[in-house]
Chain A
């Protein structure tokens, strides 16, 4: 069976990365924004694993890094949900456009 080449995987991860970026800047719903952030982190994870597997298979550096990212991402998600809930209590909405207390 033919192996999937590295470039395919990189294209996938790059696509995910930019989809995440796009979502982060265009979406107005905070939960969706949070999901976009997760998407970015996961695209990086794919990159790490792919690089490790294809280019440097002798050590597991990349895979370990992924574990750390997953842990941190979980912490960040928990925190984000807390912030969003707090905001919802004050605003009765989770639309970022409602949070406009400060202007330049």
Chain B
């Protein structure tokens, strides 16, 4: 019931919002709906945390072997919570921004939320694919309708990229389905598959390309900085905070347990190498940026790289670290984007060279900005630290990797670099002398204060008491590793 509501509520309110002609009404309905979704999600974690409430299953296309099967497991809970928390924050923090045809904007945002929820909930491969694409279409319209000058080309590139990737994934899913015993798309049947190694290898390529484009992993990342720069900021928040998590999530839930031997074979060789290259490359590029948006985009690529390596390390610690980091990174980056959005709205630019000295003019913003930036560097006591520490120790103790020291060292370099570029950004923007643009700056309004404080609270809460999240993700991580490990044990 909870699971169904999480999808249906944004879907129905989203469709309804299309028909609201008044901007304010649409805004209010969207906020209300997202708040309600958040409440439901939190209730699902606490009060109604019972298995029968967390799943929903109905007949759908029986001839094709698919069922409408959605369920909340530990990882799903976490990511749905992320989605559910993010949307109200996004709506609140961008409350002042006005949009042309606002009802369409908010309707599409809610539809995107429904799609994302579906992706995290789906326990059937075809349902998963359905939602995977459905999350994409609203984002396509959001970006190309309300984005910057070069929005159409940037969005189109993104769309073609992701679509090409996902159809390849579709081929792999259909193939896997024909191999299952009961010819079904259900995730349990997928987990029971035992496919020959050489076939696993090319299935892995087909599926991994789809996920890698979404994450994005080097060298499939070229769509990302352009798109982040061009899309309206609230959509960028959805994209970078939640949507890129779809790729990592897909690897954890659908790739690793289904194709264990290929994941093992490619894990260290291709994937880890690409991820390390991507991390270093993105970090170095981030240091050279003069624009907040592009810097955050590249920093996101670097963080994702580390998470990919951690997934393929296949240890309990790393896996739980990734899950926590999925949540933390989403929260942190939305916080950063809220600040970017505010700066852009106030001063019309996000270039460092034109900003500066905001610490005197906007002290509250500056404090919160520093907190979030530190979380992004993963300083102890912040949520970033918990995730990254777990991932590091997981990678370092991984029995699968043979060069874990090299990989850990490379990742360590990236952390240092991230400290360099994040602090450089903080320094350029809030310290130094005020520029012509920021001379008459004022502090952030109540909405931003509220949203950013909640984010800062979450950062500290997760950083200080990570235990609840660790408990939540433990079973899922163990289960996935069990599924993934069977073949390795046989091999040794």
Give yes or no for direct A-B contact (beta carbon below 8 Å).
Answer: no
Residues of B participating in the A interface, judged by any CB pair closer than 8 Å: none
Interface residues of A (CB under 8 A from B): none
